[in-house]
Amino acid sequence: MRTNLRTLAVVRNLGILAHVDAGKTTVTERVLYATGTTHKRGEVHDGTTVTDFDPQERDRGITIYAAAVSCAWDGHRINLIDTPGHVDFADEVERSLRVLDGAIAVFDAVAGVEPQSESVWRQADRHGVPRIAFVNKLDRAGADLDRAVDSIRERLHPAPLVVQLPIGAEDGFTGVVDLVRMRSLVWADGASTATRGPVPEALRAEALRRRRTLEEAVAELHPAALEEFCDHGTLSAATLAATLRDLTRTGDGVVVLCGSAYRNRGIEPLLDAVVAYLPSPLDVPAVSGVHEDTGQHRAADPEAPFTALAFKVNAGSTGRLTYVRVYSGTVEKGDTVWDPATGRTERVARILRVMADRHAQLDRAVAGDIVALAGLKSARPGSTLCDPGAPLLLEPPVAAEPVVSVAVEARRATDTGKLATALARLAQEDPSLAVRTDGETGQTVLSGMGELHLEVAVEKIRREGGPEVTVGRPRVAHRETVVGGVSGHVHRHVKQDGGAGQFAHIVLDVEPIGAEAGATGFEFRSVVVGGRVPQEYVRAVEAGCRDALAEGPLGGHPVTGLRVTLTDGSTHVKDSSDMAFRTAGRLGLRAALGACAMVLLEPVAEVTVTVPQDAVGGVLGDLAARRGRVGGSGTRGDVAVLTATVPLAELFGYATRLRSRTQGRGTFTMRAAGYAAAPVRTPVR
């Protein structure tokens, strides 16, 4: 067992996180090249990267699907997931973060923290994933490491610990000074490795000043470092490295490195930092789950019962692959595993080490591995797989709620069945896609996280041999909420039609959760005293109220942002039952909502628009026409950066409009910003 545990200590499971176009995929390519996994540098603009292997990714020049690769560095096994940066594919990031032990956050040295950088950082915060930061593109005009670090500190609020000083600026960027070991690393043009040497004399004073700043920042955060700093007035390289590792793994600090992935400068020290600072499976807390209604923990031990979580499914034409993170135990080819959520057993036909779209067969996978399993027929993203003799249910990743919908139908009536099969396969692979049939029109409706998300899904059907599809205009997913509640709403459910009857009497108060429209969620509580409504019936009332949230009174949209309080009620000695009180809860809340003041909510997005200074007026006018509220403006070099909150429905087609207003020089990015009250004129159907 000791040998196996030593093997786990040299494993690193990490992801690459960033805003779109910050250079995640290029960083991944250079990591694979530096580790000798590939022998040619792939380029995004040439469509030759390993991880962007899907035809749509290469056509569009963006990462759409999280792709796993594996490589080795300095005696360590690195399992790496390249995640999407576009907001429409944030659910891919969420599912990846659920199974990772660490991450590299990549930032553009010119733009600093961008909207989606902030979103993925918050996602990593929720999952407690330790990170190191890599400020990329230092060779670009306008690149500034200090400004990028300031934006990290101000917008993300970590304690950035900068461990490198750039040598040269913009096009003259050639290397870095390692502030921990006080040495220089310089990359000659075309060189694949750095030349190590002393700190350049011209930078020595600045390097010493920054080393002192780093030591002081570390001493403030770490008691052991503070003690050495007070005793000796400085920190040794060994103490500084050990302290940086501790601060990274606890999340109290974020190590910041810099470089230019495109020019292959800064990748080796980045890999050294991954090995030195990010945790192994042994360094993270034991995974916890539920077994027979009690909590249970499984440590990262190959000898423990097998436990794994599926985070991605690829149901391609060549077979179905389920990507899993093994948290404990060992699984071998031919083993039978148990899915406690569905109560089904599955047989593992093959185990594959993943290299994007290529695979190498393995005989077994052990704790700490990220692999693909072939032969599983019913596992979904979020499914737990475990030893049938030691069941454990892990908490699955939470799928995002779709915000945009389109009606889809096969062009030929004879292809309706093929379309249904293709849509079902899409929903299997991507939980953030939802397929339903509209009750009024009978149309098949596909819902997702944005226009691009739905475009990619429909195009995937076509490219994988599916039927020709007709797509309707996109529509946003509205919600309804309460702005003025009711008190003491009485509902009596009495039904007597022979035999046992139904009786339930409840009194409900309904009120909004937040002071302003746009608050989301649902809260239920009971203040009934004297046992007038037994506890089992209270739970039935809550279940009935949740049933009623599916359709609101304004237009049949889901209802959110309300608190329901059960204040009183009564029962019948013979005719009361769980079913009667659940029905009373559903019908009672539905009637109470009809008496409340309700408003329609629409999804809104935070938009960051980068435009030439001479186009600011026209862009601001266009945002105002789209019901946008400008929240801030600034400059970055010779361009203006505008931030606004805009209803998602008004952003359909905005990219084309912005290009026409700015002669193709304007760009924008957006991220979800919740819901806001829609104007009365907005249609509800």
The CA distance from 133 to 474, in Å, is 37
Whole-Å CA distances, 339 to 97, 118, 302, 370: 21, 35, 20, 18
pTM of the model: 0.80
Cβ distance 505 to 571 under 8 Å? yes
Has residue 508 got a pLDDT over 60?
yes
pLDDT tens digits for range 377-433: 889 999 999 999 888 999 888 877 788 888 899 888 888 889 998 898 888 888 889
User: Looking at residues 657-682, what average pLDDT do you find?
Assistant: 79
Q: Residue 75 — very low, low, confident or very high, per pLDDT cuts 50/70/90?
A: very high
Q: Is 618 exposed, middle or buried (0-12, 13-18, 19+ CB in 10 A)?
A: middle
Q: Which of 13-22, 325-334, 415-424, 497-506 shows the lowest mean pLDDT across its residues?
A: 497-506
Domain residue ranges of the chain, discontinuous segments joined by +: 2-277, 287-394, 404-477, 480-595, 602-677
Question: Each residue of 453-472: pLDDT tens digit?
Answer: 999 999 988 888 888 889 98
**Phi and psi angles of residue 125, each rounded to the nearest 5 degrees, phi first:** -60, -45
Q: What is the pLDDT of residue 3?
A: 46
Region 404-477: CATH code: 3.30.70.870
**Nearest 5°: phi and psi at 586?**
-65, -50
Query: Among the CATH numbers 3.40.50.300, 3.30.70.980, 3.30.413.10, 3.50.50.60, which is that of 2-277?
Result: 3.40.50.300
Q: At residue 684, does pLDDT exceed 50?
A: no
Confidence of residue 9 (pLDDT cuts 50, 70, 90): confident
| pLDDT tens profile 354-378 | 887 788 899 999 999 999 999 998 8
CA angle 609, 610, 612 (to 5 degrees): 130
User: What is residue 515's predicted lDDT score, i.e. its pLDDT?
Assistant: 57
Residues 6+ apart with CB under 8 A from 492: 504, 505, 584
Residue 612 clears pLDDT 50, i.e. is over it: yes
Distances (CA, A) of 36 to 4, 71, 264: 25, 8, 14
| Residue % of the chain over a pLDDT of 90 | 55
CATH architecture of the domain 602-677 equals 2-Layer Sandwich (3.30)
End-to-end CA distance of the chain: 62
How confident is the model at residue 635, as a pLDDT? Answer: 82
Dihedral sign for Cα 88, 94, 95, 96, please: positive
* Cβ–Cβ under 8 Å, residues 353 and 362: yes
Q: What value, to the nearest 5°, has the Cα angle with vertex 381 and ends 402 and 120?
A: 60
| CB 145 within 8 Å of CB 166 | yes
Q: What is the DSSP letter of 420?
A: H
Domain 480-595: state its class. alpha beta
Would 2-277 and 480-595 be classified into the same CATH topology?
Answer: no
Q: Does residue 86 surpass a pLDDT of 50?
A: yes
**Per-residue pLDDT for 681 more than 60?**
no
pLDDT digits (tens, 9 = 90+) for 624-646: 999 999 988 888 777 888 999 99
Q: What is the mean pLDDT of residues 499-528?
A: 84
Q: Is 334 left (phi over 0), alpha (psi -120 to 50) or beta?
A: left
Taking all residues of the chain, what is their mean pLDDT, rounded to a whole number?
Answer: 89
**How would DSSP label each residue in 364-377?**
EEETT-EEEEES-S
In CATH, the architecture of 287-394 is Beta Barrel (2.40)
pLDDT per residue as tens digits for the range 262-301:
999 999 999 999 999 999 999 998 888 887 656 688 888 8
Mean pLDDT calculated for residue range 647-666: 83
Question: Is beta strand 102-108 parallel, antiparallel or unpaired with respect to 131-136?
Answer: parallel
| 77, β-bridge pairs | 11, 72
Bridge partners (DSSP) of residue 604 are 647
